[in-house]
């Protein structure tokens, strides 16, 4: 018996980092996926094959573009620790030890780009392995197990990445609870800086600043939470589409400024953000942990101009779509 499962990448629309402190955040699944095939083997051991991730380059075919991402063995090793934890966790749940399991991974998601590659691989692995072991878990339960994997590997995690990867669509997330927001095609462009940031290190860096100067950092996190609530209100409002997008754009710019204040932006991220705004984006901000990785811009009717501006500023643009679907058994 073989099971093939896939899970999507994500972008955090609003509220990264502050979500780790119990504030709300909004995230969306996007249409880049990680595929995991699971089957039993006779060796009694866990085997992980991750050809795409181990090779120095990872080819991502996206819309009409072929994009080349650098990847290295260090990052591959990090991904593998998520997979191992995911398998061990599911084996514990299933209470069926002894049988070896082989998982094979292929991924369209660049590793370490802030697009939730670790969460997607954890969720797809839990989905495939739990099915193989005969467990009937809902996508929501798989998202919760994905959160446990992140806590084991990273130390700190809000759980938003595995949740949105497991359930798909656009979600409002707070302290482990989520609500689906109405599905909407957002005209976004993601810009990849070409370098990666470590979520674990960035979360730890923000924590150190918080502990050193809570009287300054707490109000920043509170403001971020308020930006998220305003964005949720806007998404749920009766405003006409153009007004909605304009308001969301302004909120993105505020959120980016607050993230910059926390110290998670880089020169390159800010260059891509300003290039996108200059090219007509309504708003642009970091998405994910920062320190490299990706930004995204909201650019109705200006997606190709913004993509060109991101390229000229030295980034790799991806014109992406929101994915309604989360984890799926293929």
The annotation status of 119 as a binding-site residue, yes or no, is yes
Which residues between 146 and 175 bind ligand MEV (CB under 6 A)?
157-158, 160-161
Give least dist CB 287 to ligand MEV, A.
Answer: 8
- Binding test (CB under 6 A) with ligand MEV, winner from 289, 297, 306, 307: 289
- Show the site string, 180-199: x = touches ligand MEV by CB under 6 A, - = not: -------------------x
Of 16-24, 133-141, 237-245, 306-314: span binding ligand MEV (CB under 6 A): 16-24
Total number of residues shown for the chain: 330
Dig out the tokens for 200 from the structure. 């674990």
Is 50 annotated as contributing to ligand binding? no
Q: Beta strands of the chain (E only): which ranges?
A: 2-14, 25-41, 46-49, 57-62, 65-70, 100-107, 170-174, 177-181, 188-192, 283-287, 294-298, 316-320, 328-329
139 is an interface residue for ligand MEV by CB under 6 A: no
The crossing angle, in degrees rounded to 10, of helices 160-167 and 117-132 is 60
Contacts (CB under 6 A) with ligand MEV, residues 194-223: 199, 203
d(CA 103, CA 89): 14
Nearest approach in angstroms of CB 244 to ligand MEV is: 24
Q: Does 294 bind ligand MEV (CB under 6 A)?
A: no
Among 42, 52, 72, 161, the one annotated catalytic: 161
Tokens representing 43 are 């060796």
Active site (annotated) includes residue 161:
yes
CB nearest ligand MEV: which residue? 158
**Residue 165 in marked binding region:** no
Q: DSSP letters of 159-215?
A: SHHHHHHHH-SEEEEETTEEEEEPP----EEEEE-SS---HHHHHHHHHHHHHH-HH
Name the residues annotated as catalytic. Answer: 161
Q: Which residues are annotated as a binding site?
A: 110-120
- Give the residue numbers of the binding site for ATP: 110-120
């Amino acid at each position: 018996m073989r099971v093939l499962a896939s899970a999507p990448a994500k972008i955090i629309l609003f509220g990264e980092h502050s979500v780790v402190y119990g504030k709300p955040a909004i995230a969306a699944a996007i249409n880049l996926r990680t595929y995991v095939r699971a089957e039993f083997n006779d060796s009694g051991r866990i085997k992980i094959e991750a050809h795409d991730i181990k090779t120095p380059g990872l080819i991502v075919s996206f819309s009409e573009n072929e994009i080349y991402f650098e990847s290295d063995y260090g990052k591959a090793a990090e991904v593998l620790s998520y997979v191992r934890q995911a398998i061990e966790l599911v084996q514990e749940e299933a209470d069926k030890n002894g049988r070896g399991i082989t998982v094979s991974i292929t991924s369209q998601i660049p590793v370490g780009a802030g697009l939730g590659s670790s969460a997607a691989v954890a969720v797809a692995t839990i989905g495939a392995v739990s099915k193989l072991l005969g467990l009937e878990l809902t996508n929501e339960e798989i998202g919760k197990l994905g959160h446990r994997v992140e806590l084991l590997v990273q130390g700190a995690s809000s759980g938003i990445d595995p949740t949105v990867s497991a359930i798909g669509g656009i979600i409002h997330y707070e302290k482990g609870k989520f609500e689906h927001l109405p599905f909407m095609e957002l005209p976004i462009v993601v810009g990849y800086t070409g370098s990666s940031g470590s979520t674990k290190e960035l979360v730890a860096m923000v924590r150190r600043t918080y502990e050193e100067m809570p009287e300054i950092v707490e109000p920043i996190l509170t403001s971020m939470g308020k930006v998220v609530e305003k964005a949720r209100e806007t998404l749920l409002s009766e405003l006409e589409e153009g007004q909605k997008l304009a308001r969301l754009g302004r909120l993105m710019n505020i959120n980016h400024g607050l993230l910059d204040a926390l110290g998670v932006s880089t020169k390159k991220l800010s260059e891509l953000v300003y290039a996108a705004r200059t090219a007509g984006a309504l708003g642009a901000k970091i998405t994910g942990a920062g320190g490299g990785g990706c930004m995204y811009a909201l650019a109705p009717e200006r997606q190709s101009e913004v993509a060109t501006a991101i390229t000229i500023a030295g980034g790799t643009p991806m014109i992406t779509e929101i994915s309604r679907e989360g984890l799926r058994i293929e």
